[in-house]
């Protein structure tokens, strides 16, 4: 029996936090843990970076700059886990906020890492709920609690792939790494 699993690209597959930290250092000489580089934390003043600097980091990490593309790396355990999922019969789809050129970048990077998967570019600040339903996913994994909150009520099992944010919802299960996720969906 086929299992339909959706994975966000940035977070579960691509170590976006690592890239954010590298780019913040490259642009501004700031040594900040990438998981702290999100708009909420920046707006609250909890990190030594301005909102304009944060936006500059975002523009660069979501660009087609060849130097930045070279810095992209997979999340720890992601490539082995993808292989295991595919071998055990999971049909993998990637609903992502990326579109156009940055979607092409993600697809090319995943090909470089040895995988040809179906990307579905949805766009920034667009709910993934409809795409999760349209793809008839059994499981959906994202590192952004807000995305998963918007998707509540879908048939799919929802997983928060994030060691830094806790899910307060019983229908959004938190997993902190690939072995934990594999134990739940494989």
Residue in the structure block whose two tokens are 């049909």 = 91
What is the Cα–Cα distance from 39 to 48, expressed in whole angstroms?
Answer: 13
130 Cβ contact list (under 8 Å, min separation 6): none
Q: What single-letter DSSP state applies at residue 74?
A: B
Q: Contact 92/7 with Cβ under 8 angstroms?
A: yes
> pLDDT tens-digit profile of 50-61?
999 999 999 999
Domain ranges of the chain: 3-15+74-185, 16-71
Is the separation of the CB atoms in 97 and 122 below 8 Å? yes
Fold of 3-15+74-185: Rossmann fold (3.40.50)
CB 37 within 8 Å of CB 21 = yes
Question: What's the whole-number mean pLDDT along residues 118-142?
Answer: 96
Strand partners for 117: none
Tell me the average pLDDT across 6-27.
Answer: 97
Q: Residues 163-186: pLDDT tens digits? A: 999 999 999 999 999 999 999 998
- Please determine, for residue 1, whether its predicted confidence score (pLDDT) is greater than 80: no
Contacts of 56 (CB under 8 A, 6+ apart): 27
Cα 134 → chain centroid: 20
Tell me, what's the pLDDT at 125?
Answer: 86
Half-sphere exposure of 31 (CA within 13 A, CB side): 0
pLDDT given for residue 124 in this prediction? 87
Mean predicted confidence (pLDDT) in 131-156: 97
pLDDT at 68: 95
pTM of the model: 0.95
* Cβ density class 16-44: b for 16+ within 10 Å, e for less: bbbbbbbbbeeebebebebbbbbeeebee
* E strands present in the chain: 3-7, 90-96, 118-121, 139-142, 157-161, 172-175
Tell me what the mean pLDDT of segment 87-92 comes to. Answer: 96
Q: If residue 105 lies in a helix (H) or strand (E), which one and from where to where?
A: helix 100-112
pLDDT at 156 over 80: yes
């Amino acid at each position: 029996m086929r299992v339909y699993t959706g994975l966000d690209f940035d977070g579960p597959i691509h170590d976006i936090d690592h890239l954010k930290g590298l780019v913040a250092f490259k642009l501004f000489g700031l040594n900040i843990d990438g998981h702290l580089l999100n708009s909420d934390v920046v707006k609250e003043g909890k990190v030594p970076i301005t909102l304009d600097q944060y936006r500059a980091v975002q523009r660069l990490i979501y660009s087609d700059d060849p130097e930045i593309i070279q810095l992209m790396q997979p999340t720890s355990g992601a490539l082995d886990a993808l292989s295991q999922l595919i071998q055990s019969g999971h049909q993998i789809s990637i609903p992502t906020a990326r579109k156009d050129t940055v979607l092409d970048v993600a697809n090319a990077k995943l090909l470089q890492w040895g995988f040809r998967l179906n990307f579905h570019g949805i766009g920034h600040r667009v709910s993934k709920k409809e795409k999760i339903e349209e793809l008839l996913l059994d499981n959906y994994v994202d590192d952004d609690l807000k995305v998963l909150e918007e998707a509540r009520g879908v048939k799919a099992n929802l997983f928060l792939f994030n060691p830094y944010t806790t899910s307060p919802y019983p229908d959004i299960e938190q997993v902190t790494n690939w072995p934990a996720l594999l134990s739940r969906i494989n």
